Structure 1
Amino acid sequence: MATTNGGAAIEQYTIEKEAQHLSNGDVKVNSWSAPGPAAFDFRSDVVTTPTARMLAAITSTSLLDDVFQDDPTTNNLESFIADLTGKEASLLVLSGTMGNQVSIRTHLAAPPHSVITDHRSHILEWEAGGVASLCGALVKGVVPKNGRYLTLEDVKKAASIPSGDLPHDIHSCPTRLISQENTLAGMITPLEECQRIAAWAKEHNIIMHLDGARLWEAVASGAGSLKEYCACFDSISLCFSKGLGAPIGSIIVGTHEFARRARWVRKSIGGGLRQAGVVTAAARVAVEDTFLGEKLKASHERAREIAAMWEKCGGKTTNAVETNMVWFDLEAAGISTEDFIKEGEKVGLRLLGGRLVVHYQIGEEAVQRLEKLLRVVLKGETVNGTVEHDPKKMQIPVE
């Protein structure tokens, strides 16, 4: 027994020493057994800490080449997700941005062509203009009339398609693809609306793509099943590293032909991986434990609890709380973003502004700390805490 304990101590010392070396002494070792700082971090669901089971899956994974399509862990994940979504095939990609960009590039051939999307969408605002540079496509951002999600009427008004027997107006850029995002700003596009847009798009030979990085959240809310939503689209990008908590990766799904061409496009932009099992093993655990394990529902309940606390204190929200995001109206509360971040840090919370993302590792203690912050902001109370981080650096790009 003494030998075993001694071995464990030596192993722990080695892990800590290596962690200090890798970070130049800046961080403590992460044991993978607890969320750590993520439990008090409302900035985004990308901050979730990978779990001990994910680490175990990584250490147990196969180590064969995905470019050669030899890795059984990766191949099995792709088959698993294809079956889960009701699609023919899927393909691992390294990020949500890569998933969207590879998908759209796969669908689009040569210009002129345009893409219709919500004016707030990731492909327009948060992916470095990739659709323009990789596809040569015009991206038309549309403001939804209802202020929440695009409807068929919004899409029809923005689309450029031939009318009856008349030739296409050569002054306009023909609509070739519609890209929806669900959820967007934490709000859900209803399944029925996706079905309406999909039926109309099919009539006009327009491709449908979904940025479904947080589609898991819409499904967890009860808005529709994963297969029902995915049936509306020719391709879907799903993220493993946001709400599901995996360290890396996304996946795109569609037909066999879509996946075949997407694999080629992925390779062309540097997305081919060698021993991909170290990514896909953890991703598989994330889907099984977080999504299929129904951990997301509690985040939605906690988000509603936080919104109710804020409103009870007299605060206003700018968006409906439908999944795991709460949007505080800081301007109405009379506090700047920087001051809100500073006050949050004094109670031990990490914030980026009025948007709070309640991921599944946010617990009751974080909510209690947040309640103290709300009393400071809305009731004029004070707290004795310290500010260690520059508020500007805390304002990470919104994901």
Structure 2
Amino acid sequence: MTTKAQSIEAEAKHLANGQVKVNNWSSPGVAAFDFRSDIVTTPTTRMLDAIASTTLLDDVFQEDPTTINLETFIADLTGKEAALLVLSGTMGNQVAIRAHLNAPPHSVVCDYRSHIYCHEAGGVSSLCGAVMRVVRPSNGKYMTLEDVQKETVMSDDVHTCPTKLISLENTLNGIVTPLEECRRISKWAREHNLIMHLDGARLWEAVAAGAGSLKEYSDCFDSMSLCFSKGLGAPIGSIIVGTKAFIQRSRWVRKTIGGGLRQAGVVTAAARVSVEDTFLGGKLAATHERARQIAKLWEGYGGKTANPVETNMVWFDLEAAGVSVEKFIELGEKAGLRLRGGRLVVHYQIGDEAVRRLESVMQAIFKGKQLNGDVVHGAEKLQEMNVVR
């Protein structure tokens, strides 16, 4: 007689061709030693329980209670009228910007490092027909009003492409755009009838760092996108917030790019848990403290950091340390870590053992310590994540 446990094990082996643990939700697994990004966090058993007990109605028909409740919950947290589930941060940004913009010509002003410019496959241009005007922050950290004003086009000259939308990203490279600066840019933008969008994939981190509340940041923007799968640990999903009219148009745009879901509760149940357990549960602040600890260790061995540590990212200056990116990644593999270069992203599943292993990498670089582990993936494979934030 086949037991339930045997049946589950057999199905797990079938789905993954035998290469699987029966319950991958019970521990972080390799994510506990993966500094490449906070997208590598693994979902928890509570998320699995939430998925198992979720509602299974249609989101395109706007019938699923779990999904509707999540959208209402996030709208309330941010102080916006409405919200809309999307499958990824990229989809959230693209749907929001497309919903805001009508017929060209128009231009979008953003940071030259921003995700919508560097890592969304040219979606703003291909989906919206918009020209991207990029800003290099004069302070080297975040865009200021003065930076934005220099790149904003408000001429009625037929040779120009007028700016209609300003997009900020917070956090960007782990650095917080201060609330007061967002307010300055927003006030000026509204005086000139310009739309404000925030790529808030990691806005949770800025809030956890004490920079301001979700509602305070939300007040500065006409729309925001927020990710559940970066840092919060959900397996999939993001959300956009704005007015009811904006969300209704966004729902339409989402449909045109294949973003409608049927039994959406399997996504939104886990997303709700990620917000409650990780963000509201206070786990992000601990990652910031661990990031500062790692930076202090690196600097204690004589290393330099390329950016200030304000949230969960640490930027090692590998060139100043005399080590190549490829060598650094290989040393990490020998220590049992997954690295992708000088940017280390600390998520809530990174623990003390991962930091100890990382210190052994530092000792190999600065003290000549020999590491005897194996290089399994190789630098080239792990660097493939360079395009993923």
Q: How far has the Cα of 1:19 moved from its partner?
A: 2.1
Looking at structure 1, the residues matched to 39 and 203 of structure 2 have their Cα atoms a distance apart, in angstroms, of 15
Task: Return the alpha-carbon distance in structure 2 between the equivalents of residues 62 and 141 of structure 1.
Answer: 43
2:217 to 225, 229, 232: 229
- Alignment of 1:189 onto 2:177: yes
Decide which moves more: 109-118 or 21-30.
21-30
Unaligned 5+ runs, structure 1: 1-5, 163-167
Query: How far 1:36 moved relative to its partner?
Result: 0.8
CA deviation profile, 1:309-338 (whole Å, cap 9, x unmatched) = 000000111111000000111111111111
**C-alpha distance in 2, partners of 1:83/1:241?**
20
Structure 2 residue 382 is matched with structure 1 residue 394: yes
Per the alignment, do residues 12 and 377 of structure 1 end up closer, same or farther by CA in structure 2, a change over 3 Å counting? farther
Q: Could you tell me which amino acid in structure 1 is paired with residue 125 of structure 2?
A: A
Distance of 1:149 and 1:398 partners within structure 2: 20
Q: Partner of 1:78 in structure 2?
A: 71
- Corresponding residue to 1:262 among 246, 250, 268: 250
Q: Give the equivalent residue in structure 1 for 2:105.
A: 112
In angstroms, what is the RMSD of aligned CA positions? 1.1
- Stretches of structure 2 that go unaligned for 5 or more consecutive residues are none
Q: Deviation per CA, 1:188-216, whole angstroms, max 9, x where unpaired? A: 00000000000000000000000000000
3-state SS of 1:272 partner: coil
2: distance between equivalents of 1:161 and 1:259?
Answer: 27
- Deviation, structure 1 residue 141: 1.1
Aligned-pair CA distance for 1:23: 1.8
Shift of 1:27: 3.5
Q: What does the per-residue CA deviation read over 1:176-234, in whole Å, with 9 as the maximum and x for residues that have no partner?
A: 00000000000000000000000000000000000000000000000000100011000
Q: CA deviation at 1:51?
A: 0.3
Give, in whole Å, the separation in 1 of the partners of 2:140 and 2:268: 37
Specify which of 140, 152, 155 is matched with residue 147 of structure 1.
Answer: 140
Looking at structure 2, the residues matched to 11 and 355 of structure 1 have their Cα atoms a distance apart, in angstroms, of 44
Residue 31 of structure 1 aligns with an amino acid whose one-letter code is N
1:174 aligned to 133, 137, 162, which one?
162
Q: In 2, Cα distance between the equivalents of 1:287 and 1:41?
A: 22
The superposition leaves residues 81-138 of structure 1 with CA deviations (integer Å, 9 ceiling, x where unpaired) of 0000000000000000000000000000000000000000000000000000000000
Distance 1:222 1:290 in 2: 16
SS for the counterpart of 2:375 is coil
1:45 lines up with 2:38 in the alignment = yes
CA distance in 2, matches of 1:202, 1:351: 42
In structure 1, distance between residues paired with 2:345 and 2:110: 23
* CA-CA distance at 1:11 after TM superposition: 2.8
Cα shift at 1:379: 1.6
Measured in 1, the distance between the counterparts of 2:90 and 2:32 equals 26
Q: Residues of 2 paired with 1:285 and 1:303: CA distance? A: 24
For residues 270-307 of structure 1, give each alpha carbon's deviation from its aligned partner in whole angstroms, at most 9, with x where no partner exists.
00000000000000000000000000000000000000
Give 1:184's aligned amino acid.
L
In structure 2, what is the equivalent of residue 350 of structure 1? 338
Following TM superposition, the consecutive aligned residue runs of length 4 or more in structure 1 with deviations greater than 4 angstroms are none
Tell me the equivalent position of 1:165.
none
Written as runs of structure 1 = structure 2, the 5 A alignment for 1:355-370 is: 355-370=343-358
In 1, distance between residues paired with 2:5 and 2:209?
Answer: 41
Amino acid corresponding to residue 352 of structure 1 in structure 2: R
Q: Hey, what's the Cα distance between the residues in 1 that align with 2:367 and 2:177?
A: 35
Q: Give 1:1-399 correspondences, 5 Å limit.
A: 10-162=3-155, 168-395=156-383, 396=385, 397-399=387-389
Could you state the TM-score of these two structures normalised by the residue count of structure 2?
0.98
Q: Which amino acid aligns with 1:283?
A: A
SS at match of 1:104: helix
Question: In the aligned structure 1, how far is the partner of 2:137 from the partner of 2:11?
Answer: 51
Cα deviation, residue 24, structure 1: 1.9
SS of aligned partner of 2:189: helix
Q: AA paired with 2:123?
A: G
Q: TM-score, normalised by structure 1?
A: 0.95
What SS is found at the alignment partner of 1:110?
coil
Question: Residue 257 of structure 1: CA displacement?
Answer: 0.2
Query: How high is the sequence identity, in percent, across the aligned residues?
Result: 72
- The AA in structure 2 aligned to 1:121 is S
**C-alpha deviation, 1:13, in angstroms:** 2.8
